């Protein structure tokens, strides 16, 4: 069933926290919730106010996310069989070789995050984080703070708890759950440590692992570190699937990481998420819709309604560059990295990325640019992204980020999300004719802002 992109924006910024309360909450964020990176460089990455969605808006976004997720799983299942399409998706050759052994996808436990943006033409979907979505800690902690200030508001849900429940339900033994992550990154470790505390609160032992600490024996994952040497009841992978080939030599024999790419059958270790999720992580999936059975007739209706038009870069790139009503995205990009937005991406970086798109077009995609609708906040107009989590088919929480520019990247700030009654006042203030603050585009492009 197609869900209409509403043009009613019952979303607003809440009141700013007092300075004394903010200092106390920053300490709680670090010591109570375990956030190890409250700053990016010298910049605070958490907003001192919440984002408030009306119940009507939250219902629209959750129904859309659940519908998108059902369509995503159907497409992923078909893409597993259509290996001829993987080069079009930009799947790395080594990962594709390992995924080629998968005969069916593992449906549970699964978690994804669908990112929605207020635009002048209605809510717009920018992407799905289908492989290793993060933000669980921030979604829970910052919403908790906001609920302490507003007794009438309610939480959109606790996605970390939902993931923990799904993993516990999938376990078939009493062995520990392996939390696989890139151990060199503190921000990755805090994600799995947060999920580990949720699992331990449900009576499950956990062990933190690098991907090369896992050994595979007949489809069963075994930990091979001092803390635990033996089988694991389940795996939670917070390590991007396209990074896996870097763990072992190729093509000499079966790579040690290949078990992450296997299907999960009887007696095998459940994985959240299986590596087949990378197929839907690619932003080039819309390019193969026409050749998928799932793309015919009314299938994929939600994706088609909510995602802006997506084409090969060669369709829009000219000698002069990129038309201002299009943007470029890396096929497997994350955290807003590598996105080309005319007037927003600094000029030197824009030229470098455009060269890459011309030289390696299969690693890029062009997407029609939606006009981001700013929201008036205590810090001035901001652009927002509301990520809706779906765990095993059910929407269960939100993670929002805001930025002064219409690009949500590593410099954006985390903001808590709460749901308020429909009769509460709704306010979103657009500034400028195209969702851009007057003078903002040129200021960002020249590096003066």
Question: Which residues does residue 420 pair with via DSSP β-bridges, in sequence order?
Answer: 54
Enumerate residue ranges in the chain where pLDDT < 70: 1-9, 103-107, 248-255, 262-267, 293-299, 423-449
Angle of CA points 27, 28, 33, to nearest 5°: 125
Over residues 181-219, the pLDDT tens digits come to: 999 998 899 999 999 999 999 999 999 999 989 998 888
pTM to 2 decimal places: 0.90
User: pLDDT at position 6, please?
Assistant: 60
pLDDT in tens, 321-378: 888 899 999 999 888 889 999 889 899 999 999 999 999 999 999 999 999 999 999 9
pLDDT tens digits, 395-426:
999 999 999 999 998 889 999 999 999 865 44
What is the C-alpha separation between 33 and 13, in angstroms, rounded? 23
**Contacts of residue 83, Cβ cutoff 8 Å, sequence gap at least 6:** 96, 100
Residue-wise DSSP of 146-157? HHHH-TT-B---
Exposed / middle / buried, residue 149 (Cβ in 10 Å: 0-12, 13-18, 19+):
middle
- Nearest 5°: the CA angle 91, 340, 6 is 90
What is residue 81's predicted lDDT score, i.e. its pLDDT?
87
Helix (H, G, I), strand (E, B) or coil at 303: helix
pLDDT of residue 32: 92
């Amino acid at each position: 069933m197609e869900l209409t992109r509403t043009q009613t924006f019952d979303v607003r910024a809440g009141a700013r926290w007092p300075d004394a309360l903010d200092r106390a909450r920053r300490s709680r964020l670090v010591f109570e919730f375990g956030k190890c990176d409250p700053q990016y460089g010298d910049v605070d990455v958490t907003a001192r106010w919440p984002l408030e969605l009306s119940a009507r808006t939250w219902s629209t976004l959750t129904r859309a996310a659940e519908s998108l997720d059902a369509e995503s799983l159907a497409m992923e299942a078909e893409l597993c069989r259509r290996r001829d399409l993987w080069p079009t998706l930009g799947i790395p050759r080594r990962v594709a070789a390992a995924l080629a052994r998968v005969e069916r996808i593992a449906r549970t436990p699964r978690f994804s995050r669908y990112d929605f943006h207020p635009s002048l033409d209605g809510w717009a979907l920018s992407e799905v984080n289908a492989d290793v979505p993060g933000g669980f800690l921030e979604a829970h902690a910052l919403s908790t703070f906001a609920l302490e200030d507003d007794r009438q508001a309610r939480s959109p849900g606790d996605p970390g708890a939902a993931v923990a429940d799904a993993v516990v339900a999938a376990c078939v033994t009493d062995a520990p759950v392996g939390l696989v992550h890139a151990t060199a990154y503190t921000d990755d470790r805090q994600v799995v440590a947060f999920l580990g505390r949720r699992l331990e609160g449900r009576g499950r032992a956990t062990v933190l692992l690098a991907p090369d600490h896992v050994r595979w024996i007949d489809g069963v994952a075994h930990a091979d570190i001092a803390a635990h040497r033996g089988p694991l009841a389940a795996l939670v992978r917070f390590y991007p699937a396209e990074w896996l080939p870097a763990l072992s030599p190729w093509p000499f024999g079966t790579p040690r990481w290949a078990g992450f790419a296997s299907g999960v059958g009887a007696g095998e270790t459940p994985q959240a998420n299986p590596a087949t999720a990378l197929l839907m992580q690619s932003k080039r999936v819309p390019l193969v819709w026409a050749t998928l059975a799932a793309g015919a007739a009314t299938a994929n209706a939600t994706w088609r309604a909510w995602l802006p038009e997506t084409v090969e870069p060669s369709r829009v790139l000219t000698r002069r560059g990129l038309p201002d009503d299009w943007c470029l995205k890396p096929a497997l990009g994350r955290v807003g990295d590598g996105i080309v937005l005319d007037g927003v991406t600094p000029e030197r970086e824009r030229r470098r990325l455009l060269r890459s798109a011309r030289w390696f077009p299969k690693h890029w995609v062009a997407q029609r640019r939606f006009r981001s609708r700013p929201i008036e906040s205590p810090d001035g107009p901001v652009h927002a992204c509301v990520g809706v989590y779906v765990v095993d088919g059910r929407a269960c929480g939100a993670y929002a980020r805001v930025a002064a520019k219409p690009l949500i990247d590593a410099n954006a700030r985390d903001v808590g999300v709460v749901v308020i009654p429909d009769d509460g006042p709704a306010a979103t203030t657009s500034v400028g004719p195209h969702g851009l603050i007057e003078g903002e585009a040129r200021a960002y492009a020249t590096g003066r802002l």
